[in-house]
Structure 1
Amino acid sequence: MKHFWGLCLLLTLFACSSDSTNRNPYLQEVSFRFDLNLNLPLYSNLKNVGNPVYVGNSGVGTRGAFVMNIGSGYYAFEASCPNHAPNDCSTMTIDGQNVVCSCEGYTYSLFTGQQLDRPNDGKRYHDLLYYRATQSGNVVTISN
């Protein structure tokens, strides 16, 4: 019986993986929590599907976050371009239902977080860094 439990423990240890291939090397994953009150005029656009809002408050992500009502809930993404280290031009801007990085002109969808104009040059490109967004009544909480 002792060997059985030892074997189980050994198998459990080998089953665990520390694969960090999905980790973005340019963005730190900082912990935060921020509430958006949909009754405030600043966030009232989030009541409608497809109207993104930039939240640039201190302590929200690295460079803030983009939040959008996608119909079935809310998505929140980091506002710093995921394909280079944060710098003067890395805070993206809203362009309809997409965001654009002014450094390279890369465009990302706020419905999926995917890069829409990924170059075919063999290099690795990252999609937007996703943050949790949950709704409780008229409050949307974004966190990481």
Structure 2
Amino acid sequence: MKKFFFSLCLFPLIWSCSGDDEIRNNPYLPDLNFSVRLDLSLPEYNNLNFPGNKYTTYNYGINGIVIYNLNNDQYMAFELTDPNHVIQDCSVLTVEGTEATCSCDDGNQYTIITGQQTSGEGQYFLKPYRVVRRGDVLEVSN
């Protein structure tokens, strides 16, 4: 009887929970499937061997990706397209230091350390990508 009563009380609670897909799904950025491997022993990617450094490429993702070495154990990777408006020529982000800036007239700027917006308008953070380090190889994927 206790199990039945517990289940009866739990059932409305489960059904009353709503998903937050509308909040998390960015209507401006499509989901792409890609995977890229960066060999850190190659000179092109040498900066990623040291915390606080980054590597930017415009060959993957929607308009490119930036990878940031947080502490040699943690790497961050983000899409280089402004997540707070439709994709257009000016929505490609340029990176200087740890800031990614949109060239549209909205003043949007983001940090490549957390993906959070630091200035401008919008409700979305930078689109993150998965980064896994295996030995001297970083694999970045969606």
TM bracket, shorter-chain basis: 0.7 to 0.9
Q: What TM-score does the superposition give when structure 2 sets the normalisation length?
A: 0.81
Structure 1 residues not aligned, in runs of 5+:
none
Q: Deviations over 1:37-80 (max 9, x none)?
A: 111222111111121111222xx211111101011410000011
Partner residue in 2 for 1:125: 123
SS class of match (2:38):
strand
Count of residue pairs brought into register by the alignment: 136
Partner residue in 2 for 1:139: 137
SS class of match (2:15):
helix
Note if contact 1:38-1:140 (Cα within 8 Å) is conserved in structure 2.
yes
Partner residue in 2 for 1:77: 78
Aligned partner of 1:130: which letter? P
Q: Work out the CA distance in 2 between the residues paired with 1:51 and 1:15.
A: 45
2:39 to 34, 37, 40: 37
15-24 or 35-44, which moves further after superposition?
15-24
Q: Work out the CA distance in 2 between the residues paired with 1:79 and 1:134.
A: 19
Name the Cα RMSD after superposition. Answer: 2.4
Partner residue in 1 for 2:101: 100
Kindly, what percent of the aligned residue pairs are identical? 39
Q: Work out the CA distance in 2 between the residues paired with 1:73 and 1:15.
A: 37
Q: Work out the CA distance in 2 between the residues paired with 1:38 and 1:15.
A: 48
Q: Work out the CA distance in 2 between the residues paired with 1:48 and 1:110.
A: 16
SS class of match (2:52):
coil
Q: What TM-score does the superposition give when structure 1 sets the normalisation length?
A: 0.80
Say whether 1:50 aligns with 2:52.
Answer: yes
Q: Deviations over 1:117-142 (max 9, x none)?
A: 144xxxx4211001111100111111
